[in-house]
Amino acid sequence: MESIFIAIGTGVLALLFATWLAYRVLKEDQGTDAMKEIGKAIQEGASAFLAREYRTLAIFVVLVTIVIGVFIDIIQLDRDIPKTAISYLIGAICSAGTGYIGMHIAIRANTRTAAAAMIGLNPGLRVAFNSGAVMGTTVVGIGILGISILYLIFKDITVVAGFGFGASSIALFARVGGGIFTKAADVGSDIVGKVEAGIPEDDPRNPATIADNVGDNVGDVAGMGSDLFESYASSLIATIAIATAASAVAPEFDEPKLVLPLLIASVGIVSSLIGTFFVRTGSQASMSQLLWALRRGIYISSALVLASSYAVIQLLGVDDGNRIFLAIVTGLVAGNVIGFATEYYTSYEYSPTRRIAEAAQTGAGTTIITGFATGMLSTLVPVASVVAAILIAFWAADLYGVAIAAVGMLSTLGITLATDAYGPVADNAGGIAEQAHLDPEVRERTDALDSLGNTTAATGKGFAIGSAALTSLALLAAYTFAINPGVTDAKELVINILDPNVLVGLFIGALLPFIFSALTMQAVGTAAYAIVNEVRRQFREIPGIMEGTGRPDYARCVDISTRGSLRAMILPGAMAVIAPIAMGFILGPEPLGGMLIGAIASGFLLAVTMANSGGAWDNAKKYIEAGNLGGKGSDTHKAAVVGDTVGDPFKDTSGPSLNILIKLMSIVALVFAPVFI
Amino acid sequence: MESIFIAIGTGVLALLFATWLAYRVLKEDQGTDAMKEIGKAIQEGASAFLAREYRTLAIFVVLVTIVIGVFIDIIQLDRDIPKTAISYLIGAICSAGTGYIGMHIAIRANTRTAAAAMIGLNPGLRVAFNSGAVMGTTVVGIGILGISILYLIFKDITVVAGFGFGASSIALFARVGGGIFTKAADVGSDIVGKVEAGIPEDDPRNPATIADNVGDNVGDVAGMGSDLFESYASSLIATIAIATAASAVAPEFDEPKLVLPLLIASVGIVSSLIGTFFVRTGSQASMSQLLWALRRGIYISSALVLASSYAVIQLLGVDDGNRIFLAIVTGLVAGNVIGFATEYYTSYEYSPTRRIAEAAQTGAGTTIITGFATGMLSTLVPVASVVAAILIAFWAADLYGVAIAAVGMLSTLGITLATDAYGPVADNAGGIAEQAHLDPEVRERTDALDSLGNTTAATGKGFAIGSAALTSLALLAAYTFAINPGVTDAKELVINILDPNVLVGLFIGALLPFIFSALTMQAVGTAAYAIVNEVRRQFREIPGIMEGTGRPDYARCVDISTRGSLRAMILPGAMAVIAPIAMGFILGPEPLGGMLIGAIASGFLLAVTMANSGGAWDNAKKYIEAGNLGGKGSDTHKAAVVGDTVGDPFKDTSGPSLNILIKLMSIVALVFAPVFI
């Protein structure tokens, strides 16, 4: 019992730390009036987005809560209290809350980072990183608190699984809706602003510019946060569920394997908090020193988490403790390897991205072919890492080992997410410095911070994909225990691929990520058109807008594109929830297992391909813009821009959404398991 | 016993028919001297390609023959005669033979079709179609003869599986090597000719022009032929193998289920031969009448094959005859549905391709995004068809039903392949008509034939992919029987996905098509550079080449790009053979089963995505060239050209090669099964 209170305690500690950090960020100087003006417009836009998004989500969440309450809690399990429905609702609210807090700070940290960069590089880094750390510690804090408290109250992990489902639902909307929004605003503002009206990029006269800025926060901060919040919650839930199922007798509440994931998460949180203090650099730091500043924080946290996990395992006296420790190490190593591989394939410091830039010399066609081939090749290391992690973790501790490897991978999430969420803040600070015509020296500093942000964002994306794959597999394992009540030995669980229904499930599962990606890519086009029309209308109807005397209606532009993107994501979103339920009802629980495996395999591969080819195209363009191969404005650059345009929905809409698709399908299966058997 | 002699008899009949058709094609007029000159250059180039390709392949085939003979026949099975090695060698020779014959006729039919089109539309159609029918009937004739005779001699279907492996090896080289060759020649000749030297496309002064023409025959005729030869052979082998394994006692040689596939194939051959006589049209036929002329032949063959299959089943007195008939019908219907869906997604008569053309109005980026999304969406119907076929066929007759559904799908191959192979001949005839400056009326006729060829080629590609998926599944079923000797009931076979080794196998299997596609796409770039260098050298060193007085060394250009493409395909090719063997040895036979399923699912989806997005981009460009949305030379057209460039390796190199990858891996598993258990 104490273990759960320890978990709750660390959760509270994380939130207190986040509050303190947020306070420090918010009391920073906001800079010049021009900067405040721009910052205000972004905040207005972000509020408009969140208001609209949460209104749409509320309907969806209420509907699903009722469905769960009626069909699972009341009809199927004959409960007096709709426990799973309550867990679902709380999970959804928590996920929305983390998104709100993360974005709230990020959009306020943009201007403050730019202002701090006026003083020096280190102050700029500290503000941007601290705002990312607010997000990171909030996610882990709310995650562990939600699960621990619900578990303490309901004493049934299958009920707590509803929390994961709630988190997934919001995550899906945040990632898909946000992903469509950000790219639609980007493309739409370019088409009307740059092409039709002939005004430069990021020009404040363009009503969609703010939507574009908002989009970066919506997609990269809130989207990434809710994505990893879900991975974090689901990996804990899956591990506890497997530990529960694998206990021959009804487990004690203090059964070591049951509380271990919560304690690993707890020491992970504390380690991450300590790690954040090591992220600092000198005033004249080089690029590699900046990168090292962030990496030092992560490495110190990782070392701490390993040492303290080992201690926890020994203190708890877990059976086969060394083997379980090995599984945790495996997960942590796999996550880092995937992160580095992502960086290798998408940073222009390395040959794959440079080869894409060289291919741009022979035109847009060869740029696309080379970039797409690079994305496909880049699946090798992530798959090898996950496969190695599965083999080692399973050898070490069966399915429990696979699940706790996911927990290990995510244990340092507090700080890894901080380095990810740092990226878009630094990016926007750079944009603000440019729009507010700050001193060239300041822009050099924000450029350095931004460039660093691209690297950490790449690593973060790889991490998100890797953890999604491992978490989904852990959920799948928990699901197979759930559909085989009474089985305690993982080796007795069977899903036979040669059963034609399972085979059919697998094929349909493998199909879904393709359809999902196609729908989300098409949605970007549809939503972009809605923005184009709105910008044209404002240019026509608001007097003095082109002369700079009339103020564009930024919020309306944001609201329209929000509505457009949220409407466009209904079909893919509904598919993700309905497909596993339909499969479970029509072909049965084993074919649903086949469907999950098919979706995880093909979704993982597609997600890596799309995210990495998109990232590599982006950076190939940046490499050329840095003055290589002809530089900005050359034909080579134009070809690279085509690659970047294709890469935008790949890396920011479809690719990352696939992470959620596979986790959401898996947790839907777990939550609805009682209905299928 | 009579049944096998019936099969041998139809095989001989098919070859006699092919000989008669070839005689008819070859005695046609070759047209003007200019046409003969161009035709001679293409024939020279094709001979150079085949000579080089077969020399490379000979080494590979001899090596593999020795490996099979030593490790499987002698060491593992302690045989006096290396039966499987002999079967392998014969399979490889037969496959190479069909490729040689098909290409030999096709490159001679090009000029003759152009010449016949000088007389009228119907003569042109007859010559082009007859040359395609030579290929179609040769493939089915050699296929059924090879299997029947080897089966008659060795009386062991696992030995005959070597024949399928041999066919696969050659098919892989023909598809991958040919696919790289054709696109490298295309891209390479464009870069030096159009961009650097400023001479028009298809100009005889460009030494790579002939390589480009040869490429069309190499990729589309020989590649498609060897691909479907392999499907045809492997589906028969798999069905007989399953029937053998499922017989409780050592089966009689006249066991109905054993000989049924050979008899279905026999009546299919006769039905196809009859169908070819119905392919004719009037002299002033419209596009839809031309299409109907080809379709009528296929429909009549299909009706005949259904009626005669039903009769054969009744005559043999097969148990559950009606159910098995249902499985055959299912396969035939699924093949046609996939073919039509492919046409829908890639023809500019329908909205998906038109939407890509419209997206080209906003630039190359949106063209690529829309086209790629279309390709991904287009996987829905093929997967649904295969899934429905699996469910129905398995319900009807277990795994035997799935295998015989593949036989049913391929039963009319004699005529469906004829309509596919017709396409490139008509295409080249059009090119020759243009190069030889024939009467505009003739070019109108060849354009009509060419346009028809695009439609039938699209249908053919869909058919190739669908049959590859179903054949691979049939081979997988045969493999699972092979690794479970003694098991006769399909329901007792188990491959458990929750076994971590199987799961790992599945992940690695799903990974392979991504790596394979990446490597083949990169290979196109590498081989294209080799051509670029050779063309530059010839321009520099051969005097009078630009004035038209010096004759370019076409054969050397072809030889160099052949060498380049064959070298570039060693890595992906070796991967396809070695991966399943390594998996079987390292993780064992069940994980290899998981690997096959992962590869089939992800390979099938990727193949459809790449083939269809490529086809749609190609036709979106043609739609604009037909005068829509600004026509040739507009910015919209330029954007569409980028789509077409990206689509080239998608649809002609990587996409179709995936068909062979999944079949080759499956047959390797089947042949090596005795070693793993």
The pLDDT, as a whole number, for residue A578 is 93
Q: What is the pLDDT of residues B294-342, one digit of tens each?
A: 889 999 999 999 999 999 999 998 888 999 999 999 999 999 899 989 9
Taking the Cβ of residue B76 and every Cβ of chain A, the question of whether any pair is shorter than 8 Å is answered with: no
- B496: which DSSP letter? B
- Is residue B45 within 8 Å of B558, Cβ to Cβ? yes
The phi, psi pair for A546, rounded to 5°, reads -75, -25
Q: How is A312-323 classified by DSSP, letter by letter?
A: HHHHHT-TTHHH
Confidence of residue A410 (pLDDT cuts 50, 70, 90): very high
The pLDDT, as a whole number, for residue A292 is 87
Q: What is the mean pLDDT of chain A?
A: 89
Listed range (A65-74, A151-160, B537-546, B597-606) with the worst mean pLDDT = B537-546
Which residues of A are less than 8 Å from B365 in CB distance? Answer: 641-642, 644-646
The pLDDT, as a whole number, for residue A293 is 86
Residue A156, pLDDT above cutoff 80: yes
Listed range (A444-448, B72-76, B403-407) with the worst mean pLDDT = A444-448
- A552: which DSSP letter? P
- Between A483 and A205, the more confident residue is A483
Tokens at residue A225, please? 């946060």
Residue A248, pLDDT above cutoff 90: no
Strand partners, B496: A496
d(CA B105, CA B118): 20
Q: Which amino acid is at B189?
A: S
Query: What number of CA atoms fall less than 13 Å from residue B182's CA on the CB side?
Result: 26
Q: Could you tell me which of A507, A521, A520 has the C-alpha nearest to residue A579? A: A507
d(CA A162, CA A166): 6
Confidence of residue A1 (pLDDT cuts 50, 70, 90): low
Residue A677, pLDDT above cutoff 90: no
The pLDDT, as a whole number, for residue A250 is 53
Tokens at residue A510, please? 């493998």
- B/e letters for A630-646, b = 16+ CB within 10 Å, e = fewer, are beeeeebbbbbbbbbbb
* Minimum distance, in Å, between the CA of residue B472 and any CA atom of chain A: 13
Residues 460-479 of B with CB under 8 A from A: 473, 477
Listed range (A475-489, B41-55, B570-584) with the worst mean pLDDT = B41-55
Q: Collapsing DSSP states into helix, strand and coil, what is residue A496? A: strand
Residue B174, pLDDT above cutoff 90: no
Which residue among B376, B402, B502 places its CB closest to the CB of A518?
A: B376
Residue B617, pLDDT above cutoff 60: yes
Residue with tokens 């004739």: B141
d(CA A461, CA A474): 20
Cβ contact, residue pair A601, B394, below 8 Å: no
* Cα-trace Rg, chain B: 24
The pLDDT, as a whole number, for residue A252 is 59
Q: Collapsing DSSP states into helix, strand and coil, what is residue B634? A: coil
Query: Hey, which of A210-214, A221-225, A405-409 has the most confident mean pLDDT?
Result: A405-409
* Minimum distance, in Å, between the CA of residue A504 and any CA atom of chain B: 6
Q: What is the pLDDT of residues A92-109, one digit of tens each?
A: 999 999 988 988 999 999
Cβ contact, residue pair B366, A506, below 8 Å: no
Q: What is the pLDDT of residues A223-234, one digit of tens each?
A: 888 888 999 999
Listed range (A175-184, B203-212, B235-244) with the worst mean pLDDT = B203-212
Which residue among B380, B508, B594 places its CB closest to the CB of A497?
A: B594
The mean per-residue pLDDT over the stretch B423-445 comes to: 84
The pLDDT, as a whole number, for residue B608 is 96
Tokens at residue B360, please? 């080209």
- Is residue A128 within 8 Å of A429, Cβ to Cβ? yes
Residue A251, pLDDT above cutoff 60: no
Q: Could you tell me which of B242, B490, B243 has the C-alpha nearest to residue A497? A: B490
Q: Could you tell me which of B412, B427, B393 has the C-alpha nearest to residue B273? A: B412
Residue B254, pLDDT above cutoff 70: no
- Between A342 and B254, the more confident residue is A342
- Is residue A103 within 8 Å of A176, Cβ to Cβ? no
Residue B464, pLDDT above cutoff 70: yes
* Minimum distance, in Å, between the CA of residue B487 and any CA atom of chain A: 14
d(CA B362, CA B373): 16
The pLDDT, as a whole number, for residue B113 is 93
Residue B445, pLDDT above cutoff 60: yes
The mean per-residue pLDDT over the stretch A463-480 comes to: 93
Listed range (A113-122, A545-554, A611-620) with the worst mean pLDDT = A545-554
Residue B72, pLDDT above cutoff 80: yes
Helix, strand, coil: what percent of chain B each, to 5?
Answer: 85, 0, 15
Residue B202, pLDDT above cutoff 90: no
What residue of B is the nearest CA neighbor of A504?
A: B387
Q: Collapsing DSSP states into helix, strand and coil, what is residue B451? A: helix
The residue ranges of DSSP E strands in A75-206, in sequence order, are: none
Cβ contact, residue pair B368, A642, below 8 Å: yes
- Between A326 and B255, the more confident residue is A326
Mutate to test the interface with B, among A514, A595, A618, A652 (most CBs of B within 10 A): A514
Confidence of residue A267 (pLDDT cuts 50, 70, 90): very high
Q: How is B354-389 classified by DSSP, letter by letter?
A: HHHHHHGGG-HHHHHHHHHHHHHHTTHHHHHHHHHH
Residues 485-524 of A with CB under 8 A from B: 490, 493-498, 500-504, 506-508, 510-511, 514-515, 517-519, 521-522, 524
CB-based burial of residue B486 (10 Å sphere; 0-12 exposed, 13-18 middle, 19+ buried)? Answer: exposed
* Minimum distance, in Å, between the CA of residue B386 and any CA atom of chain A: 9
| Cβ atoms < 10 Å from Cβ of A486 | 7
- B81: which DSSP letter? S
Alpha-helical (H) ranges within B247-363 are 256-276, 287-316, 321-346, 351-359
- Is residue B21 within 8 Å of B130, Cβ to Cβ? yes
> How many contacts (CB atoms, under 8 Å) link A and B?
201
Residue with tokens 């020795």: B66
| Cβ atoms < 10 Å from Cβ of A372 | 30
Q: What is the pLDDT of residues A5-47, one digit of tens each?
A: 999 999 999 999 999 999 999 999 998 898 898 888 888 878 7
What residue of A is the nearest CA neighbor of B375?
A: A518
Phi-psi group of A465: left, alpha or beta (phi > 0 → left; psi -120 to 50 → alpha; rest → beta): alpha
CB-based burial of residue A27 (10 Å sphere; 0-12 exposed, 13-18 middle, 19+ buried)? Answer: exposed
d(CA B30, CA B108): 9
Taking the Cβ of residue A601 and every Cβ of chain B, the question of whether any pair is shorter than 8 Å is answered with: yes
The pLDDT, as a whole number, for residue B247 is 76
Residue A249, pLDDT above cutoff 60: no
Query: What angle in degrees, to the nearest 10, is found between the helix axes of B321-346 and B256-276?
Result: 40
The residue ranges of DSSP E strands in A247-383, in sequence order, are: none
The phi, psi pair for B278, rounded to 5°, reads -90, 0
Residue A139, pLDDT above cutoff 70: yes
The pLDDT, as a whole number, for residue B388 is 97
Instruction: Give the percent of chain A with pLDDT over 70.
Output: 98
d(CA A278, CA A442): 24
Residue A254, pLDDT above cutoff 70: no
Confidence of residue B7 (pLDDT cuts 50, 70, 90): very high
What residue of A is the nearest CA neighbor of B381?
A: A511
What residue of B is the nearest CA neighbor of A493?
A: B498
Cβ contact, residue pair A373, B495, below 8 Å: no
Residue A195, pLDDT above cutoff 70: no
Q: How is A413-461 classified by DSSP, letter by letter?
A: HHHHHHHHHHHHHHHHHHHHHHHTT--HHHHHHHHHHHHHHHHHHHHHH
Residue A146, pLDDT above cutoff 80: yes
The ipTM (two decimal places) reads 0.94
Taking the Cβ of residue B383 and every Cβ of chain A, the question of whether any pair is shorter than 8 Å is answered with: yes
The mean per-residue pLDDT over the stretch B237-248 comes to: 87
Which residues of B are less than 8 Å from A386 in CB distance? Answer: 507
- Between B505 and B485, the more confident residue is B505
CB-based burial of residue B647 (10 Å sphere; 0-12 exposed, 13-18 middle, 19+ buried)? Answer: buried
**What is the distance of C-alpha A15 from the center of its chain?**
20
CB-based burial of residue B626 (10 Å sphere; 0-12 exposed, 13-18 middle, 19+ buried)? Answer: middle
Residues 6 or more apart whose Cβ sits within 8 Å of residue A114: A31, A35, A124, A429, A430, A432, A433, A436, A438, A442, A446
